[in-house]
């Protein structure tokens, strides 16, 4: 059993970090809306985009700065005041020397995440201002993943070969970065699904004394909630590639830095939790890539084949489609939290349940395809 006093202390810290990042995000997002109007930085409507008017496009800057100030500022405070304030010394010692995975201190792994995330953010911001070639963005994502691996953030997976774990980690990070970037196709969708995932991950890792990971998750959670206030339909600001890729990178890195399995009292099936909790972005990405490949289109070319667009085409409003996807994300992710306590039978049951949910989505997508075929046939007649 955990001691009551330290547990209460940490949950007060978690609440404090969440509120600080939330307030920062609200203020900075509002500031970015003003600056976007002031300097004319807009996402302009075009044939494949849903919005009908120019929307401020610096939301990614607000997300990045809110997260960086929250994490970086408090890391600096822990370093500066660890010898003068008793409770700060306790927190600093825990943060600097407690590591959930790997041999390197947790604070060093956090630095790697910040550095890799900064690279992703800068490349995304340049892409928002001046479109970059997809290969350049992919190269930046791989380099950012290599950075966190070199700082000790990597998957273990019971694999004795370090090179294999490095490759798997890099592939996972690139997948999730692009999954959230692809998911940013409707007001509030990417930020809301990311917020749900972050909060579920927090409630998984916080009881396991993975304090730095939990704090970082809540810093991102508060940042996302503050941004979502302005990004939910009808959106007053977009996060752009800078925000979507940065959010995806931080979430991917934190899933790698977290431990979802403890040998003494947890099922190894808990290692599958990130795949389930991030099931919606992964499913949408795999589905869209497959449809674009089948149509002979470049997989990086934006279109209206996303699950959210299909729901709207079937008759839902944009807001209802986003809320529906929120509920799917919550249902699949919440069930995944039980994996660490389940044996093979329970895991198979949960897997079948998740497949059932995604099967419903596939049926809706097929219905949308048939509706489109009927509409095209009617136009030809």
Cα–Cα distances (Å) from 300 to 187, 207, 341, 362, in that order, read 20, 39, 39, 22
Per-residue exposure over 268-284, b if at least 16 CB sit within 10 Å of its own CB, e if not? ebbbbbbebbbbbbbbb
Long-range pairs for 41-45: beta carbons < 8 A, 24 or more residues apart: 41/129, 43/238, 43/240
CA 122, CA 111: separation in Å to the nearest integer?
Answer: 17
CA 362, CA 346: separation in Å to the nearest integer?
Answer: 24
Residue 181 marked in a binding site: yes
Within 8 A by CB and 6+ apart from 56, the residues are: 32, 33, 36, 37, 41, 42, 43, 236, 237, 238
Question: Known binding site for Mg(2+): residues?
Answer: 181, 241
Question: Known binding site: residues?
Answer: 181, 241
């Amino acid at each position: 059993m955990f001691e009551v006093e330290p547990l209460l202390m940490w949950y007060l810290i978690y609440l404090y970090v969440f509120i600080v990042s939330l307030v920062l995000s609200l203020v900075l997002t509002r500031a970015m809306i003003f600056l976007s109007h002031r300097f004319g930085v807009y996402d302009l409507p075009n044939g494949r985009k849903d919005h009908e008017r120019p929307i401020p496009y610096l939301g990614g800057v607000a997300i990045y700065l809110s997260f960086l100030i929250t994490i970086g500022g408090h890391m600096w405070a822990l370093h500066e005041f660890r010898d003068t304030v008793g409770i700060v010394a306790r927190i600093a010692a825990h943060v600097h020397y407690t590591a959930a995975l790997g041999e390197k201190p947790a604070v060093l792994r956090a630095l790697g995440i910040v550095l890799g995330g900064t690279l992703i953010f800068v490349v995304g911001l340049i892409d928002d201002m001046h479109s970059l070639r997809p290969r350049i963005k992919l190269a930046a994502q791989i380099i950012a993943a290599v950075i966190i691996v070199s700082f000790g953030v990597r998957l273990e997976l019971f694999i004795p070969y370090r090179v294999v774990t490095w490759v798997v980690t890099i592939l996972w990070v690139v997948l999730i970065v692009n999954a959230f970037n692809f998911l940013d196709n409707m007001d509030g969708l990417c930020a809301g699904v990311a917020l749900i995932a972050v909060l579920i991950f927090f409630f998984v890792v916080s009881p396991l004394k993975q304090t730095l990971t939990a704090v970082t998750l809540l810093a991102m959670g508060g940042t996302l909630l503050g941004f979502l206030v302005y990004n939910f339909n009808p959106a007053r600001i977009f996060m752009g590639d800078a925000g979507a890729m940065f959010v995806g990178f931080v979430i991917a890195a934190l899933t790698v830095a977290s431990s979802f399995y403890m040998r003494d009292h947890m099922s190894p099936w808990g290692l599958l939790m990130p795949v389930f909790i991030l099931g919606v972005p992964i499913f949408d990405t795999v589905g869209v890539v497959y449809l674009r490949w089948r149509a002979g289109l470049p997989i990086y070319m934006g279109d209206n084949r996303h699950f959210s667009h299909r729901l709207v085409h079937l008759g839902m409003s944009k807001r209802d489609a986003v809320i529906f996807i929120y509920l799917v994300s919550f249902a699949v992710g919440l069930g995944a939290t039980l994996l660490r306590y389940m044996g093979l039978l329970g895991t198979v049951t949960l897997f079948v349940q998740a497949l059932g949910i995604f099967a419903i989505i596939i049926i809706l997508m097929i219905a949308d395809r048939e509706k489109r075929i009927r509409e095209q046939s009617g136009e030809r007649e």
